[in-house]
Amino acid sequence: MASPRKIRVAVLISGRGSNMVALIEAAKDPAYPAEIVLVLSNRPDAAGLGRAAEAGIPARAVDHRAFPDRASFDAALDAELRAADVDLVCLAGFMRIFTPAFVAGWAGRMLNIHPSLLPLFKGTHTHAQALEAGVRLHGCTVHFVVPELDAGPIVAQAAIPVREGDDPDSLADRVIVQERRLYPAVLAMVAGGRARLEGDRVVIADTAPEGVLFSV
């Protein structure tokens, strides 16, 4: 029997791309339901571009500074994604805010990973925000992208304990470990049809493996 067509995924980065590498590694499994077909960065100097190219993935910069406004930058990104026949976009440390029109064009087909347990601590400096708030659990979230920043239906989260003596760097070091586990697991769930959007909620078809949705 022919195996089902894999979901074609583009990963958008702005920096080192360690979540992107985790997705590329996971997608090497022949049974994985998605393939990474394109990596784009808004920054030509993003270290992740080289790491993607080393893995044999087409990797290009679309430098936001070359465009007069957000709409024209987003249109250039959109053209790249459509030219590559992309089904699903994964934001992985992509640090640009999109126009509502771009988000609408990829509604239900764009995921983001954010380094906090949303809806807590949106925006930047999430680890410092967590320490400031005095929470005992911190973590990361993968969610569908909506026009509002760091909002949108949550697919899955992973949590870590906040320990005495933690600082933003030590929290970042432990959260990123969970991010690199969570994102490939979530992409498999979405691409494989086990997690799907119903209105503004994500419905999970079966129980996720222990430790995927919640790992302390």
Site stretch for ligand GAR (CB under 6 A), options 12-20, 63-71, 161-169, 191-199: 12-20
Nearer to ligand GAR, 5 or 132 (CB): 132
Amino acid at 26: A
CA distance 127 to 171: 6
Angle 40-44-47 (CA atoms, 0-180°, nearest 5)? 80
Residue 125 falls in the annotated catalytic set: no
- Closest C-alpha to 25, from 147, 182, 157, 184: 184
Q: Which of residues 134-173 bind ligand GAR (CB under 6 A)?
A: none
Size of the site for ligand GAR (CB under 6 A): 14
Query: Which of residues 6, 16, 60, 70 is near ligand GAR by CB under 6 A?
Result: 16
Name the minimum Å distance from CB 175 to ligand GAR: 7
Q: Are strands 195-198 and 201-204 parallel, antiparallel or unpaired?
A: antiparallel
- Strand ranges for 98-193 from DSSP E: 110-114, 137-144, 154-161
Name the helix (H) or strand (E) containing 45: none
Report the nearest approach of ligand GAR to the CB of residue 40 (Å).
13
Minimum distance between the CB of residue 8 and ligand GAR, rounded to whole angstroms?
A: 20
Which 76-135 positions form the footprint of ligand GAR (CB under 6 A)? 92-93, 113-115
CA distance 171 to 132: 13
Helices then strands, each counted (H, E), the chain? 6, 9
x-marked contacts with ligand GAR along 18-37 as a string, rule CB under 6 A: xx------------------
The distance of closest approach from Cβ of residue 93 to ligand GAR in the complex, given in angstroms and rounded to an integer, is 3
List of residues contacting ligand GAR (CB under 6 A): 13, 15-19, 48, 92-93, 113-115, 176, 179
